[in-house]
Amino acid sequence: MITLYDYELSGNCYKLRLLMGMLGIEWKTVPVDFYPGREHKSDWFLKINPLGQLPVIDDDGLILRDAQAILVYLASKYDASGSWYPRDNPALLGEISQWLAFADGITGTASAARLHDALFYDFDVEAARAGAHRLFRILDEHLWFGEQEGRSWICSAAQPTIADIACFPYIMLSEEGGIPRQDYPAIRRWCDRVKRIKGFSVMSGVFPAGPAKAA
């Protein structure tokens, strides 16, 4: 069984819980007191991940760090449909990879602003918010054009991929860092679609989808 070293309020940990729930994977959790305990910097945890970062998984002795890398692993190993990370489609894998990198940019901006506001991290919050808005504008435009072409998800696949899971959490949590989403209607519609994927789960600050609108 997979062991997830987890902090309940971490968007990067949440994206793993989200995918594992959607894939029907069983896992157990080892809570790590990120704040205020800073347990991710403790001696015992640094032996597991010398970078002192969450999340980490242990799958039968295979220890992996980095949320995006773990998403690739989980989808590759446990998704029998092959739709979340389609290994037989190089073009789509390239698309997914570029949006996984984009998700890291969201973490470095929207998540940084949230850490500043909620956990008192000493970051340049105005620069973080400005960077997040720049990325949100890019994604909102991308999603809007995709909708005009009949596409519902970040990548060109007919179904969601791990790119959607990677980008979703810190966008949904952005208002906790002073980054409102009202100017990004395509992002809001996409967030609603993600919430309606079978197996979707919530975390603090992320709520279920509302009632479906009548056609």
Domain ranges of the chain: 2-78, 90-195
Query: Could you tell me which residues come within 8 angstroms of residue 36 by beta carbon, excluding any fewer than 6 positions away?
Result: none
CATH 3.50.50.60 fits 2-78, yes or no: no
What is the mean predicted confidence (pLDDT) over 27-31? Answer: 98
Give yes or no for residue 215 having a pLDDT over 70: no
Q: Which CATH number fits domain 90-195: 3.30.70.2700, 1.20.1050.10, 2.60.40.1220, 1.10.150.80?
A: 1.20.1050.10
145 and 139 Cβ atoms separated by less than 8 Å: no
pLDDT at 102: 98
In the chain, where does DSSP find H-type helix? Answer: 11-23, 43-48, 67-78, 90-106, 112-119, 125-148, 162-172, 185-195
How do residues 76-104 score in pLDDT, each as one tens digit? Answer: 999 999 999 999 999 999 999 999 999 99
Residue type (1 letter), 181: R
- Of the candidates 182, 102, 192, the residue with the CA atom closest to the CA atom of residue 142: 102
Give percent above pLDDT 90 in the chain. 95
How do residues 47-78 score in pLDDT, each as one tens digit? Answer: 999 999 999 999 999 999 999 999 999 999 99
3-state secondary structure of 203: strand
pLDDT at 214: 55
Alpha-carbon dihedral angle through residues 104, 11, 73, 105, given to the nearest 10 degrees: 0
Mean pLDDT of the chain: 96
Give yes or no for residue 203 having a pLDDT over 70: yes
How do residues 118-151 score in pLDDT, each as one tens digit? Answer: 999 999 999 999 999 999 999 999 999 999 999 9
- Other residues' Cβ atoms within 10 Å of the Cβ of residue 51: 10
Give percent above pLDDT 70 in the chain. 99
- The reply to whether the predicted model has a pTM over 0.85 is yes
Say yes or no: do domains 2-78 and 90-195 share a fold. no
104 and 68 Cβ atoms separated by less than 8 Å: yes
Instruction: Extract the tokens encoding 9.
Output: 């309020």
Give yes or no for residue 211 having a pLDDT over 90: no
